[in-house]
Structure 1
Amino acid sequence: MEDVKAYIESGILELYVLGDMSAEEKLQVEGMASKYPEIRTEINAIETSLELYARAQAVEPSEQLRNRVLNSMVVNLGDDNTFTKSVTHHDDDNVPQLPAARVNSFYKYAFAACLTLLLISIYGLVNLYSQLQDSNAQIAALRLDKQHFANQVSLMDNQLDMYRDPSYKVLKLKGTAKTPTAAMILAWNAVSKKVMVDVQSVKLPKNDKQHQYQLWALVNGKPVDMGVFDAPDADTAGVKEMKAIASAQGFAVTLEPMGGSINPTMNEMVVIGTF
């Protein structure tokens, strides 16, 4: 509907009524008029307005001029030379001139300006959305870093508590003849029965996927299973809690099949220590 309104206001219908357009343009206007009743109604209104305007501005010819025209028609002369130049000029001067039709180009410029503003707005929104996505990604990364830092602080606090708490007995396990450079530190609390391994202190050869290290408590000369673990990476920090035990004279670690064994494989012992 907006297109029909813009078409009517463009000024092309006035040019059509005045006949100031090509045959192709006339056919186009007539096609639009047959398709849209509003355009046909507007054409009729323009024609009526021009007719009323012409009647309102019409000049009544003088009686002398009227008689000469009638006489000329009767004798079939029709020669304009019979009219005096003064009279002809006088009448021409009194004939009102219709204002030249002017095509209204305001809407074309307005449409172009609106389209330009729309494109600029879309470009700005796309940039803003991209910046927002980048900001969200940065915020998510900061949150992960914050959580990781908090976890590291918590692990370090637990590790420090293990050494500060006098109820813990700290034991350093040393390598055997099989693995002389191996070592690790653990702490045992006889009150809470907790056994904590200082992960960063573990210096053991990297185990494969078919094996794990198993911790044993030495209780009255007999080994007691304390759980399995993997050799940590070099930069791994924190503490690892193993199974609880009420009494122990020492601890040892052996390399066992994945999941651990019921009894330790003595020739695979890597570290041992006693109180």
Structure 2
Amino acid sequence: MEDIKAYIESGILELYVLGDLSPEERLQVETMASEYPAIMAEITEIETSMEFYAAEHAIEPSEALRNKVLNSLLINLGDDTIFTKPRKHTDEEQFEDDDHNVAQLHTGKSTNFYKYAFAACLALLVVSTFALVNLYNQLQDSNSQLTAVLQQKQQFANRVNLMDRELDMYRDPSIKVLKLEGMPKTPSSAMTVAWNPANKKVMVDMKSMKLPKYDKQHQYQLWALVAGKPVDLGVFDTANPGDDTALIKEMKPIASAEAFAVTLEPRGGSINPTMDEMVVIGKL
């Protein structure tokens, strides 16, 4: 099947329709067309396209020119001398007459036909190119729309998953929910920490968090007080307004704790908490 496709695309069928093949090549094309319906259909389509182009671009002669040609034909047909029997010639005269009567090949009509055929092929090429470009643009638009839909679907799935996890913070009896309150210098600060001693998970409610603003060189760091010593539970940034995909944040696990607190530290966190920068604290 690939060989037939390559044969069709080789351009030999167009040359066949134009009559620009040798007898051997024409016989080969006709043999292939009789064996493969696809080749015969392609030849028919090429002929139809060329006929359609010629009909579309045909020039209707004026009425005066039409009458002139018809009158000329009638006059010539009425002239009996045109059909008189020629006299016999001597051999020398016959040779000279043969030289003068040699039919001259008029290539004008053939050249015009080639021009029309080439123009038809060029027009088909332009139309096909335009159609392919238009189809490609439509496919690109469809792919962009599909990508956007998939992204929205993934965001929605993430929101549902995070909302389920947030609900688990309050409906699981094994989870302890602790409200951290602001320090004297930040009395309006507050946040919620959920801790499950069974699986050691610690989660921060990002949506209800109320902490002071800070610069890009700092981050908040969560601490757990264990046997009177602070234990690092990781750093976090406050959630962006309208970001529903960051409802909760899971921190480092811990098995036991007496209290939880948050301090403002240099970005990346500190080994020990900066006590002067403590913003909220909550005891169990």
Pair 1:119-2:146 in alignment: no
Contact 1:207–1:230 under 8 Å retained in 2: no
State the TM-score, normalizing by the size of structure 1. Answer: 0.61
| 2:188 paired with 1:181 | yes
Partner in structure 1 of residue 152 of structure 2: 145
1:158 alignment counterpart: 165
Aligned AA (1:207): Y
Structure-to-structure mapping, 1:18-97, within 5 angstroms:
59-61=86-88
Q: Distance in 1 between matches of 2:283 and 2:158?
A: 32
**Alignment CA distance shift 1:221-1:113 (3 Å):** same
- Per-residue deviation, residues 225-271 of structure 1 (Å, max 9, x unmatched): 22221222223332211122222222111112233223322221101
Equivalent residue number for residue 198 of structure 1: 205
Do the aligned partners of 1:185 and 1:197 also contact (CA within 8 Å) in 2? yes
In the alignment, which residue of structure 2 is the partner of 1:268? 277
- Cα deviation per residue 1:148-174 (whole Å; 9 max; x = unaligned)? 222222211211122221100111111
Structure-1 residue corresponding to 2:109: 103
Change (3 A) 1:263 1:114: closer
Question: What is the number of equivalent residue pairs in this alignment?
Answer: 194
The structural deviation recorded for 1:60 is 3.6
Q: CA deviation at 1:125?
A: 1.0
Secondary structure at 2:136 match in 1? helix
Note the alpha carbon deviations across 1:113-133, whole angstroms, 9 max, x for none.
Answer: 222222111111111111111
TM-score (norm 2): 0.59
Instruction: Give the counterpart of 2:260 among 243, 251, 274.
Output: 251
Match of 2:247 among 226, 238, 243: 238
Gaps of 5+ in 1: 9-56, 67-95
Q: Which runs of 5+ in 2 are unaligned?
A: 1-11, 23-83, 91-100
Structure number with greater Rg is 1
> 1-side partners of 2:203 and 2:104: how far apart?
103
Contact 1:200 1:235 in 2 (8 A): no
- Alpha-carbon contact 1:194-1:241 (below 8 Å) kept: yes
Distance in 2 between residues matched to 1:233 and 1:150, nearest whole Å: 19
Secondary structure of the corresponding residue to residue 166 of structure 2: helix
Q: Deviations over 1:66-124 (max 9, x none)?
A: 9xxxxxxxxxxxxxxxxxxxxxxxxxxxxx9x799573443333332222222111111
CA RMSD of aligned residues (A): 3.3
2:221 is matched with: 214
Q: SS of 2:169's equivalent?
A: helix
Distance 2:240 2:104 in 1: 94
**Conserved 8 A contact 1:187-1:197:** yes
